[in-house]
Amino acid sequence: MSFRSSLIPSALLATVPAVVFAHQGHGSGFLSGLGHPVGGMDHLLAMLAVGLWAAMLGGRAVWALPISFVAAMLAGGALGLSGLPLPGVEPMILASVVLLGVAAALALRLPMGWAVLAVAAFGLFHGHAHGAEGPQTGLALYAAGFALATMGLHLVGLALGLGLGRLAASGTLRMLGLGTALGGLSLIFG
């Protein structure tokens, strides 16, 4: 894929309207939780970016970043469900899309502890939003579906990152990160 043709997916991601937020209501049960992360561009992009960045970092990051995101997301969900306030949830969710995209675009090499901490912090905010706004019934099944879908999106990001890395197309991989960051900016300013 040439530089010009890799700009097309980035431009498309940047034009996603801000009305595609994942926090516009929840169903209940496993299938609702499973479908929810792919229905909101903010969550979809952030979760794919976790996988892309993990693939770029390689080594232990391939499993540590996705697992830390999901674990913190579940903890944040419990905090939100319990009614404990967490300031700045929506701005942090949007920041996660932009910053995780930038980390992938720049192939940012943070020490493993800092990378895990950053991803976990973003996961906490994503989870809090869903715990606070989540369904009143079928919550355990909803959370299981949501966690499984989240991990699946991380795996898609990993597969893209690892596959493109093997093809020596790191420029394309970085463009996907840039596209994610631009998509996040479009959610903020769109």
CA distance linking residue 70 with residue 68, whole number of Å: 6
Helix (H) / strand (E) element for 30: namely: helix 30-39
Burial 14-28 (b: 16+ CB within 10 A, else e): bebeeebbbbeebee
- Report pLDDT for 170: 60
Query: 99-142: per-residue pLDDT in tens?
Result: 999 998 888 999 999 999 999 999 999 999 988 887 877 788 99
| Residue ranges for the chain with pLDDT beneath 50 | 1-25
CA distance linking residue 109 with residue 131, whole number of Å: 32
Other Cβ atoms within 10 Å of 2 Cβ, number: 8
- Report pLDDT for 16: 39
CA distance linking residue 180 with residue 177, whole number of Å: 5
If you search the block for the tokens 């995209």, which residue do you land on? 101
- Report pLDDT for 100: 95
- Report pLDDT for 12: 39
- Report pLDDT for 19: 33
For the chain, what is the total number of helices (H) and then of strands (E)?
Answer: 8, 0
Asked if 12 and 182 count as a contact pair (C-beta separation under 8 A), the reply is no
CA distance linking residue 181 with residue 87, whole number of Å: 23
- Report pLDDT for 167: 56
Residue 75 burial by Cβ neighbours in a 10 Å radius (0-12, 13-18, 19+) = middle
The answer for residues whose C-beta is within 8 angstroms of residue 42's C-beta and 6 or more apart is: 20, 21, 22, 93, 94, 97, 184, 187
CA-based R_g, the chain, Å: 16
